[in-house]
Amino acid sequence: MFLSSRVKNANDSVTLQTNQKVIQLQDGGKHIYNMTAGQLPFKPMAEFTDKITKQINFLKSYQYAPVAGFPELRKKILSYTESTRDILFSDIDDEFDVVVSNGAKHTIYNVLGAIVDPGDEVIIMAPYWVSYPEMVNFWGGVIQVVNSHSYDGFTPDIEDIRKAISAKTRAIILNCPNNPTGVSYSEKWMKDFADLLVENPDIIVISDEIYHELCYFDPKVSFFYKYRPELLKQTVIVDGISKSFSCTGLRIGWCVAPKKLTAALTKIQGQTTSGANSLIQRALIDFDFSDLKHFMGPVKEHLRKNADYLREKFRQKGLSKCWYQSTSAFYFMIDYKRTPYFEAKYGDSTDDRADEISTLLLEDVGVALVSGSSFGAPNTARMSIVLEEGPFTEAIEKLTNFLSHK
Ligand code: PLP
């Protein structure tokens, strides 16, 4: 069968591939500590699921929603964004709106579709979420990657971003809190980033803030546009319910953006998927977003404990060189290259051994991580820190024994 070059050039999701391997090994009777999860292992809060139950009784919950989302929900999302980011859109003008889509991934696809022509450049920062390059490629765009490393706390240098900008740069994708590093950028970094953008008013920032509720160590992230509110005119704030509501399967995400852009997104969505799930949108209209705080409290406490345990264990096992402080989201990036295991086996070789080491860890040690090669970070692997305390400490014991072994 003929397949388009778009499909032929796309890569399969590495997380899905790893998960398939995990299932295969588990089916064969092997016990695996699965640390690949991109979702919280908790049921969503009853305050929200009760609203879904209530809305299930109405005909409107089963009929088409307006393409951009129900107006009441869009209004609510605008004020939720203002209160959680400490900004006021009306300070700029009334020219902002919301488009609700089938998840934040869908939102970012639409945004790239609305602003990228073939050959246009999009800057992303490595390690990056695996879907960004795929999405940019899909629309014919070209990625420009800015690197960062474990020894600088996975924070990209603003000067490197400046150097990556060219006349063809259409957008920068910022992901803070970050998947896969669990890092949030400092206030100083955000201020410098804001200054850089003021110098480049034609560049659009796609600010993927899907993990913004998950800052488990202070200070909570403050975004660049808080320091230069006029930048909201060139910003798309992306958010949704997947991570903060623990509802990855319900597929609701959104963006807040200048109306010129939301009109374009509505056009794309109107000719592709139409409006997102009516039932869940209606439940969200009914839901008090301030209840999220109560739900997030214990989740953050759990992540904080696991992150503290990780730090202590890395210190005890002589792995401090590859430790950095993760503060948010629910991931940690292991820099294999700075472990005694790597140094003893490969010396200062720069070849990428991430797949090889991650496969050994999975098959011999029983710990599943996602190899960092497809995050644009050779010789690393992403570890999810959401496991419950018991299995988490067991898995970290096995992992650190392996990596500290010379
Ligand atoms: N952005 C980042 C950085 C993510 O890690 C994910 C999911 O893993 C998404 C967006 C997608 O979220 P959604 O489930 O709303 O499509």
The predicted pLDDT at position 37 comes to 83
Cα(295)–Cα(340) distance, integer angstroms = 40
How do beta strands 204-208 and 235-240 pair? parallel
Cα(264)–Cα(172) distance, integer angstroms = 19
Cα(309)–Cα(98) distance, integer angstroms = 40
How far does the centroid of ligand 1 lie from the alpha carbon of residue 105, in Å?
Answer: 6
Percent of the chain with pLDDT over 90: 90
* Residues 318/320/321/326 CA torsion (nearest 10 deg): 150
The predicted pLDDT at position 201 comes to 97
Structure-block tokens of residue 57? 């009784």
Question: Of ligand 1's atoms, which has the minimum distance to the CA of residue 39?
Answer: 8
Q: Between the CA of residue 381 and those of 180, 286, 334, 368, 373, what are the distances in Å?
A: 9, 40, 5, 10, 8
How far does the centroid of ligand 1 lie from the alpha carbon of residue 342, in Å?
Answer: 31
**Could you tell me if 153 and 135 are in contact, meaning their C-beta atoms sit under 8 angstroms apart?**
no
The predicted pLDDT at position 4 comes to 92
Alpha-carbon Rg of the chain, whole angstroms? Answer: 21
Residue-level length of the chain: 406
How far does the centroid of ligand 1 lie from the alpha carbon of residue 128, in Å?
Answer: 12
Structure-block tokens of residue 351? 């070849």
Question: Of ligand 1's atoms, which has the minimum distance to the CA of residue 248?
Answer: 14
**Could you tell me if 104 and 242 are in contact, meaning their C-beta atoms sit under 8 angstroms apart?**
yes
Q: Using the predicted structure, report yes or no on whether residue 406 has a pLDDT greater than 80.
A: no
Cα(400)–Cα(179) distance, integer angstroms = 22
Residue of the CA atom closest to atom 8 of ligand 1: 38
**Could you tell me if 399 and 361 are in contact, meaning their C-beta atoms sit under 8 angstroms apart?**
yes
Mean per-residue pLDDT for 234-239? 98
| CA 26 distance to own-chain centroid | 28
How far does the centroid of ligand 1 lie from the alpha carbon of residue 216, in Å?
Answer: 18
Q: Using the predicted structure, report yes or no on whether residue 376 has a pLDDT greater than 90.
A: yes
**Could you tell me if 373 and 17 are in contact, meaning their C-beta atoms sit under 8 angstroms apart?**
no
Question: Which pLDDT band holds residue 9 (cuts at 50, 70, 90)?
Answer: confident
Cα(99)–Cα(112) distance, integer angstroms = 14
How far does the centroid of ligand 1 lie from the alpha carbon of residue 308, in Å?
Answer: 25
Question: Which pLDDT band holds residue 14 (cuts at 50, 70, 90)?
Answer: confident
Structure-block tokens of residue 73? 């929900």
Tell which residue, 180, 131, 191, has the closest CA to residue 158.
Answer: 191
Residue of the CA atom closest to atom 3 of ligand 1: 179
> What tens digit of pLDDT does each residue of 327-364 get?
999 999 999 999 999 999 999 898 999 999 999 999 99
Residue ranges lining ligand 1, Cβ < 6 Å: 38, 103-105, 129, 175, 179, 208, 210, 240, 242, 248, 253
| Residue among 236, 242, 284 whose CB has most ligand 1 atoms within 8 A, to mutate | 242
How do beta strands 253-258 and 235-240 pair? antiparallel
Q: Is the peptide bond before 177 cis (omega within 30 degrees of 0)?
A: yes
The predicted pLDDT at position 124 comes to 98
How far does the centroid of ligand 1 lie from the alpha carbon of residue 104, in Å?
Answer: 6
| Residue among 131, 183, 237 whose CB has most ligand 1 atoms within 8 A, to mutate | 131
Cα(385)–Cα(370) distance, integer angstroms = 12
Q: Using the predicted structure, report yes or no on whether residue 180 has a pLDDT greater than 80.
A: yes
| Residue among 99, 207, 243 whose CB has most ligand 1 atoms within 8 A, to mutate | 243
Q: Between the CA of residue 383 and those of 214, 256, 289, 309, 355, what are the distances in Å?
A: 16, 30, 30, 14, 14
Question: Of ligand 1's atoms, which has the minimum distance to the CA of residue 252?
Answer: 15
The predicted pLDDT at position 20 comes to 87
> What tens digit of pLDDT does each residue of 26-50 get?
999 999 999 998 888 889 999 999 9
Cα(245)–Cα(229) distance, integer angstroms = 28
The predicted pLDDT at position 374 comes to 87
| pTM for the whole structure | 0.97
How far does the centroid of ligand 1 lie from the alpha carbon of residue 40, in Å?
Answer: 12
